[in-house]
Amino acid sequence: MQTNPPHTLTFTRPDDWHLHLRDGEALAAVVGHTAAVFRRAIVMPNLKPPVRTTDDARAYRQRILAALPAGSDFEPLMTLYLTAAMQPAEIDRAVDSGIVHGVKYYPAGATTNSDAGVRDLADVTAVLERMQERDLVLQVHGEVTDPAVDPFDREAVFIDTVLSPLVRRLPKLRIVFEHATTREAVAFVTDHPHLAATLTPQHLLLSRAAMFEKGIRPHLYCLPILKRESHREKLLEAAVSGSPQFFLGTDSAPHSRITKEAACGCAGVYSAHAALALYAQAFDSVGRLDRLEGFASHFGADYYRLARNQDQVTLTREPWTVPDVYPFGAEALVPFRAGETLPFTVSTSGATLGR
């Protein structure tokens, strides 16, 4: 990494290892934000209906490519949505396709569009065994859905009651603990060197107090929900640690303004418009911008056994103000940090972004 302190930092172009792109008009509205900075992204399969088969993934991939701005070299890395109906032969088709890079496990009812998810992992044993054999990554939404468990405890309880038994039963299955939000998740992943975790910008920058600052803040509501400050500190420590088990996954999850500002609002924070700048701010807050390249641009590619990117991105300590809204089909999309000024600007060869 070259540094010209304190103003610019040029390093390997990053990838986003957890992204929601949606479909149709919403896809067209958001994909350019990600493609402007990130070379690749793991695209989550929680569409309605979900991306269940390799054929579904192939078709969705074509729709993403068709929605890209002219000249973009962005590459969508596809995933399948695990359901109780999936057969082991689907895993073979997925691996052999070369376009599917993981299978996402949503506990049924845990989050947005998870109703088709799995109720009991025992229902998918043969599929998980085939994934272990074929070395296909399992991406987990790590929260239990039992309404008796407090929402702030659902991740820790998931680790004890679901993940830990799974890792014992299938000790070679590679698992990404998606959007880790607790010290328990950091500790569990650290203890299991063949596991990894993605970390979102909002969980590195904010604790749960931000959701209630001077009133209720629906645009900061996502799942897993923001946790207390001591968890945030552990997440940031893991992110800047230089451990290859922790890498960038924004979980950028666009929902229209009216579905967020509602009596029963949707879960999801939209961060694709400013993702790398937000991570830079988090790393800079502890003086560890030097650790950003590994986290954003090396460790995810290494874990997924893909080549690191060849091109570069430049981060400049130059403030810009996030718009209040972005267009979102016929609706509006309120981005993370709407109307606020961010300290870093990102540019790729020639183009300055985030203006």
User: For residue 86, which of 130, 42, 135 has the smallest C-alpha distance?
Assistant: 130
Q: Total binding residues for ligand NCD by CB under 6 A? A: 11
CA angle at 221 for the pair 218 and 225, rounded to the nearest 5°: 155
Q: Which is nearer to ligand NCD, 270 or 320 (CB)?
A: 270
CA gap 58, 33 in Å, rounded? 22
Does 76 help bind ligand NCD (rule: CB under 6 A)? Answer: no
Q: Which is nearer to Zn ion, 12 or 139 (CB)?
A: 139
**78 touches, from ligand NCD, Zn ion, none (C-beta below 5 to 8 Å by class):** none
Residues 6+ apart with CB under 8 A from 1: 9, 10, 11, 290, 293
Query: Given candidates 14, 36, 43, 46, which one binds ligand NCD under the rule CB under 6 A?
Result: 46
Give the Cβ contact number of residue 32 at 10 Å. 16
Residue 109 CB, shortest distance to ligand NCD, in Å, is 11
Annotated catalytic residue 251: yes
Query: Given candidates 15, 90, 184, 251, which one binds Zn ion under the rule CB under 5 A?
Result: 251
Q: Which is nearer to Zn ion, 45 or 354 (CB)?
A: 45
Q: Which is nearer to ligand NCD, 20 or 219 (CB)?
A: 20
Does 34 help bind ligand NCD (rule: CB under 6 A)? Answer: no
Are 12 and 37 in contact by the 8 Å Cβ rule? The answer is: no
Write the single-letter amino acid at 258.
I
Site string for Zn ion, 35-54 (x = CB under 5 A): --------------------
Does 251 help bind ligand NCD (rule: CB under 6 A)? Answer: yes
Across 45-119, the runs of DSSP E, i.e. the strands, are 75-81, 100-105
Does 75 help bind Zn ion (rule: CB under 5 A)? Answer: no
Q: What separation, in Å, do the N-terminal and C-terminal C-alpha atoms of the chain show?
A: 25
Q: Please give the helix or strand (H or E) that residue 326 lies within, else none.
A: strand 326-328
- Burial of 270-283, coded b for 16+ CB within 10 Å and e otherwise, reads bbbbbbbbbbbbbb
User: For residue 151, which of 208, 190, 206, 203 has the smallest C-alpha distance?
Assistant: 208
Query: Given candidates 33, 141, 174, 234, which one binds ligand NCD under the rule CB under 6 A?
Result: 141
Query: Given candidates 35, 131, 222, 240, which one binds ligand NCD under the rule CB under 6 A?
Result: 222
Task: Report the SS3 class of residue 234.
Answer: helix
Q: Total binding residues for Zn ion by CB under 5 A? A: 1
User: For residue 249, which of 194, 180, 182 has the smallest C-alpha distance?
Assistant: 180
Are 252 and 219 in contact by the 8 Å Cβ rule? The answer is: no
Residue 177 CB, shortest distance to ligand NCD, in Å, is 12
Which residue has the CB atom at the shortest distance from Zn ion? 251
Q: Which is nearer to ligand NCD, 13 or 20 (CB)?
A: 20
Residue 34 CB, shortest distance to ligand NCD, in Å, is 14
**39 touches, from ligand NCD, Zn ion, none (C-beta below 5 to 8 Å by class):** none
Does 112 help bind ligand NCD (rule: CB under 6 A)? Answer: yes
User: For residue 287, which of 52, 36, 5, 1 has the smallest C-alpha distance?
Assistant: 5
User: For residue 11, which of 348, 355, 242 has the smallest C-alpha distance?
Assistant: 348
Catalytic residues: 251
Please give the residue ranges that form the binding site for Zn ion (CB under 5 A).
251
Please give the residue ranges that form the binding site for ligand NCD (CB under 6 A).
20, 46, 111-112, 141, 222-223, 251, 253, 267-268
